[in-house]
Amino acid sequence: MKINFIGGAQEVGGSCIAVETDYAKVALDYGVKVGESDFEEFPDDFDVVIISHAHLDHSGNLLSLSQAKPVIVGSKITRDVTTDLLHDMIKIRKINGNHFPYSNKHAHNVKKSWWVRDSIALPGMSIQLYPAGHVAGAKMACIRTEGKEILYTGDFCLHDTEILEGCNPKTLPGALDVLIIESTYGGKTRPQRNKLVDQLFKQILSTIERKGNVLIPAFAFHRSQEMAKRIDKAMKEGILPSYRVYTISNLANRITGYFNTYKEFFTHEIQKQKSPFNYQHVRHLRRTKQIKEPAIVICTSGFGHAGASFHLLNEWAADEDNSIIISSGYLPPESPLKIAKEKGVLINNGKKTQVHAEVEQIELSGHADQRELVQMVRELKPKRTVLVHGELEQAQALSEEISEITEVSIPKRGETIAL
Ligand SMILES: [Zn+2]
């Protein structure tokens, strides 16, 4: 058996791993590097492609597979959100006028090739999926073949969040031969989630007291709904006073519809509610013109480089009464949010604006931090652990923490491990 690390090795983005025996060839994820204009060419001779979750760095390259038509396996919500994100990617490429070889037909083909299931059998191989935390519908994949067990975590989170249960390592197969684990935060330990939520509410409250606006750029999938639900609940419970709260992304609004329909992916608490993501204090708007200030606005893009968040960032950043809250841990080097946070300026069409609004980064991440990554390895005690989906520095920091428990490798892109 061979495991080939095609993408997402010593880096974040473009995740793809091939597991191949004499009888079967499987891909674990098929992603793109978000923000890069060209797709990387991956092999397309797979029998099955497993998609761990609906983030494009794990699924975006599926458009290039629509000729080869392998079976795609993943959860129902991953299927629906992935195809929506693919349609959205095609739309954006068209608006920007870039040459793009794929159309909506290719995104439809992805949906048609999708099998919603938690297990699949191939000649001499069986694959079982397990809940991963991270985002709604995220799965880990355990491959059993040639008498060996390999677990691929995808992106995961051990602690519960407001809407999602964390992954429980006790429910995962023990006695693994190989654990392929993400290492995004391999060198970083974050404060407890409730501390971060307190910090968020404090920032919102102080902005409300001076009647300012709060801009919260967020991804359309999961982070938008999680943030809206969190603020809605805090207002219902009187933790925050009532204030105008809006979401703007139409894509996020459509995804919210899936969240109301597929309640089984969420916590028991959420499942008990009739339409858990129909909010009392949060209204959906179609465009920024409809905003009545002052307000709290949750909108895309998550990095502030396009859409409503780009527009409002330019509108609100110069006013010291306003706040900009960044909930993502990672920001691309050239993104407006990163420049606003680190240099205190905004650059739009060559025009420089000083940022006087408060810019706070509160990392309400869905990834395991170093403590949780180490806990995972400790619980599963694999013979060998392979670190992927992390910058080299992060992977090395994690490697130091776990090298007494397990044999560790940090493969480069294109590297193959033979078992
Ligand atoms: Zn992810």
CA of 374 to the centre of ligand 1 (A): 19
CA of 55 to the centre of ligand 1 (A): 5
CA of 179 to the centre of ligand 1 (A): 18
Q: Report how far residue 42's alpha carbon sits from residue 40's, in angstroms, rounded to the nearest whole number.
A: 6
Q: What is the pLDDT of residue 393?
A: 97
Q: What is the pLDDT of residue 124?
A: 97
CA of 139 to the centre of ligand 1 (A): 11
SS3 at position 13: coil
CA of 134 to the centre of ligand 1 (A): 7
Measured at the CA of 95, the angle between CA 14 and CA 37, to 5 degrees, comes to: 25
Other Cβ atoms less than 10 A from the Cβ of 39: the count is 17
Catalogue the E-assigned strands of 88-243: 114-116, 119-122, 125-131, 139-145, 148-152, 178-182, 214-217
CA of 85 to the centre of ligand 1 (A): 13
DSSP structure string for 397-410: HHHHHHTTTSEEE-
Q: What is the pLDDT of residue 384?
A: 98
Q: What is the pTM of this model?
A: 0.95
**All domains in the chain, ordered by first residue:** 2-188+366-418 (3.60.15.10), 193-361 (3.40.50.10890)
Q: Report how far residue 204's alpha carbon sits from residue 296's, in angstroms, rounded to the nearest whole number.
A: 8
Q: What is the pLDDT of residue 174?
A: 85
Q: What is the pLDDT of residue 271?
A: 97
What is the token pair recorded at 275?
A: 């339409």
CA of 242 to the centre of ligand 1 (A): 32
CA of 59 to the centre of ligand 1 (A): 10
SS3 at position 83: helix
Measured at the CA of 260, the angle between CA 258 and CA 265, to 5 degrees, comes to: 75
Q: What is the pLDDT of residue 96?
A: 80
Q: Report how far residue 134's alpha carbon sits from residue 137's, in angstroms, rounded to the nearest whole number.
A: 9
Q: What is the pLDDT of residue 348?
A: 84
CA of 157 to the centre of ligand 1 (A): 10
Type of residue at 344: G
In contact, 6 and 41? CB cutoff 8 Å = no
CA of 10 to the centre of ligand 1 (A): 16
Type of residue at 69: K
Backbone φ and ψ for 72, nearest 5 degrees, come out as -105, 130
CA of 223 to the centre of ligand 1 (A): 11
What is the token pair recorded at 26?
A: 């499987």
In contact, 128 and 151? CB cutoff 8 Å = no
CA of 52 to the centre of ligand 1 (A): 9
In contact, 102 and 64? CB cutoff 8 Å = yes
CA–chain centroid gap for 325, Å, is 18
Type of residue at 135: V
Q: What stretches of 96-239 show up as alpha helix (H) in DSSP?
A: 104-112, 193-209, 223-236
H or E element: which one contains 27?
strand 25-28
CA of 347 to the centre of ligand 1 (A): 29
Q: What is the pLDDT of residue 334?
A: 81
CA of 80 to the centre of ligand 1 (A): 16
CA of 54 to the centre of ligand 1 (A): 7
CA of 274 to the centre of ligand 1 (A): 28
Tens-level pLDDT at each residue, the chain (419 residues):
999 999 999 999 999 999 999 999 999 999 998 877 788 899 999 999 999 999 999 999 999 997 888 999 999 999 999 999 999 999 988 888 878 899 999 999 999 999 999 999 999 999 999 999 999 999 999 999 999 999 999 999 999 999 999 999 999 998 899 999 999 999 999 999 999 999 999 999 999 999 999 999 999 999 999 999 999 999 999 999 999 999 999 999 999 999 999 999 999 999 999 999 999 999 999 999 999 999 999 999 888 888 899 999 999 999 999 999 999 887 877 889 999 999 999 988 888 999 999 999 999 999 999 999 999 999 999 999 999 999 999 999 999 999 999 999 999 999 999 99
